[in-house]
Amino acid sequence: MSKVTKLKNGLTIIVEKKRVPKVCIGVLVKTGLINETTEENGISHFLEHMAFKGTATKTAKQLSEDIESLGGACNAYTSNDHTLYHVNMLAEHWKTGLQFLNDIVVNSVFPKDEIERERKVILQEIARSKDNPMHVFWDRLGETIYAKQPAGRTILGPAKNIKRFTRDDLIRYTKKWYCPNNMIVSVCGDVSNRKVVKFVKELFGHMKPHKVADLVTNKFVKQDKVFEEIFDQSIVALVYNGPKVGEQEAEQTIFENVLDGGMSCRLFQEMREKHGLCYSTSVITDQLKESGFLGVYAGVKGSNAKKALTVMEETINTMKTSITDDEMIKAKNIALYRLANTAESCERMMSWNATSYMYKEKAVDVKAKIKAIKKVTKEQVFDFAKKFVTKDASRITMIHKRG
């Protein structure tokens, strides 16, 4: 079980002890895509890049060498609603890991020459994303089901924004969201909770809390859209207004595993084995604190797009009325194995504890999740399907653009 401590300035510390000779440490900041205005779109991700580019006392190279010289690795990512900076290293070096994260999150100075270099890097990242069919598809999906809302934009942001962001913009955004009451320090590995809490207080205790802005609520929008792109393969998706974070988690897990729990499950068998419509097909989901979506997608030949949507709809609708005993057993075994696999990973538990606390103000209770999975009944899965698999689906089709 994890231990949670909250400092007087609002900073949350989560420590999970594991008897392995390593430690994974993360600093989660509760800001991402949905925190941005239209003019700011892309700045959370830009800031994530710039955090590694130098502090008051160290250059970008010195920062990375501090971790890599000890055999560790450092990285970060930006999501819809948070940014996570993290390090993985030998447990004996945990203090160095925390010092590094404190330095890049609290003391970054955003050198102007580094900003100009990183601007070029991110513009190339955007260009690369436009050459990736699945990346483009996810962008089109977001702009369809979260139309004209923050969640409908892209995490990378538009190139025009990246070209004009200044050092002052980065500093202003940091001051707005990077405060202790909007941050979580999560540690998993062979460390002492008491020692970690004491050291985190030394590093972050001086930070002053302040009220953060309220977020815009993102709501699912039902609409059908067809996009023309340069890719040879078409992608189709059937997407429903889905559960928000923490809503009917166990039921959703079993629902997804019966539908898409491997090569022997319904979606794969219908779409690929029976009809030969695709190479790749799967369930797609995303969840925010106040909304989410649930659906299925497939990569198909353009002329088969309509048929693929029909087969997907027929298949997902079977989840409302029929599940065999064998399917339930398999779906639960898949879920339990995945839980076990996650629970033994320091990296996954570090990030899972952080995001769990962000949404629910409690760390992950793996035993409770196992118990919930085992208790799910067919009737509960039917009820889940009837609640979310409705006639109000969005159909997104990305087809080959003819020259």
Domains contained in the chain, number? 2
CA atoms within 13 A on the CB side of 319: 33
190-245: pLDDT as tens digits:
999 999 999 999 999 999 999 999 988 999 999 999 999 999 999 999 999 999 99
Catalogue the active-site residues. Answer: 48
* Residues 239, 143 share a domain: no
In a domain, 214, yes or no: no
* Residues 186, 314 share a domain: no
137-184: pLDDT as tens digits:
999 999 999 999 999 999 999 999 999 999 999 999 999 999 999 999
**Chain centroid to CA 201: how far?**
28
* Residues 43, 172 share a domain: yes
Residue at which a domain ends, from 140, 175, 204: 204
* Residues 336, 240 share a domain: yes
In a domain, 161, yes or no: yes
Q: CA 64 to CA 56: how far, in whole Å? A: 15
Distances (CA, A) of 30 to 171, 185, 208, 271: 16, 11, 16, 39
What is the pLDDT, as a whole number, of residue 402? 66
In the predicted model, is pLDDT for residue 378 greater than 70?
yes
300 with 308: CB under 8 angstroms? yes
43 with 161: CB under 8 angstroms? yes
* Residues 164, 286 share a domain: no
In the predicted model, is pLDDT for residue 83 greater than 90?
yes
Using the structure block, give the residue that is written with the tokens 């941005």. Answer: 36
- pLDDT category at 390 given cuts 50, 70, 90 is very high
* Residues 190, 296 share a domain: no
Q: CA 287 to CA 221: how far, in whole Å? A: 15
What is the pLDDT, as a whole number, of residue 401? 75
* Residues 319, 277 share a domain: yes
Mean pLDDT of the chain: 96
- Which residue type does 320 have? K
In a domain, 376, yes or no: yes
Q: CA 364 to CA 356: how far, in whole Å? A: 6
Strands 183-189, 12-17: pairing is parallel
* Residues 96, 57 share a domain: yes
In a domain, 210, yes or no: no
* Residues 54, 154 share a domain: yes
| CATH number for position 59 | 3.30.830.10
What is the pLDDT, as a whole number, of residue 25? 98
- What predicted TM-score, i.e. pTM, was given to this entire model? 0.95
What is the pLDDT, as a whole number, of residue 1? 77
In a domain, 218, yes or no: no
SS3 letters across the chain? CCEEEECCCCCEEEEEECCCCEEEEEEEECCCHHHCCCCCCCHHHHHHHHCCCEECCCEHHHHHHHHHCCCCEEEEEECCCCEEEEEEEEHHHHHHHHHHHHHHHHCECCCHHHHHHHHHHHHHHHHHHHCCHHHHHHHHHHHHHCCCCHHHCCCCCCHHHHHHCCHHHHHHHHHHHCCHHHEEEEEEECCCHHHHHHHHHHHHCCCCCCCCCCCCCCCCCCCCEEEEECCCCEEEEEEEECCCCCCCHHHHHHHHHHHHCCCCCHHHHHHHHHCCCEEEEEEEEEECCCCEEEEEEEEECHHHHHHHHHHHHHHHHHHHCCCCHHHHHHHHHHHHHHHHHHHCCHHHHHHHHHHHHHHHCCCCCHHHHHHHHHHCCHHHHHHHHHHHCCCCCEEEEEEECCC
* Residues 256, 184 share a domain: no
In a domain, 42, yes or no: yes
Q: CA 199 to CA 111: how far, in whole Å? A: 28
- pLDDT category at 348 given cuts 50, 70, 90 is very high
Q: What percentage of the chain has pLDDT greater than the value 90?
A: 96
Strands 12-17, 83-90: pairing is unpaired
In the predicted model, is pLDDT for residue 403 greater than 70?
no
What is the pLDDT, as a whole number, of residue 216? 87
In the predicted model, is pLDDT for residue 31 greater than 90?
yes
Strands 394-400, 234-241: pairing is antiparallel
Residue at which a domain ends, from 153, 171, 204: 204
In a domain, 280, yes or no: yes
* Residues 287, 232 share a domain: yes
In a domain, 188, yes or no: yes
Q: What are phi and psi of 174, to 5 degrees?
A: -60, -45
Nearest alpha carbon to residue 315 among 279, 287, 282, 292: 282
* Neighbour-count burial of 80, counting CB atoms closer than 10 A to its CB (0-12 exposed, 13-18 middle, 19+ buried): buried
* Residues 242, 381 share a domain: yes
Give the range of the structural domain holding residue 393, as residue numbers without chain letter. 225-400
- pLDDT category at 400 given cuts 50, 70, 90 is confident
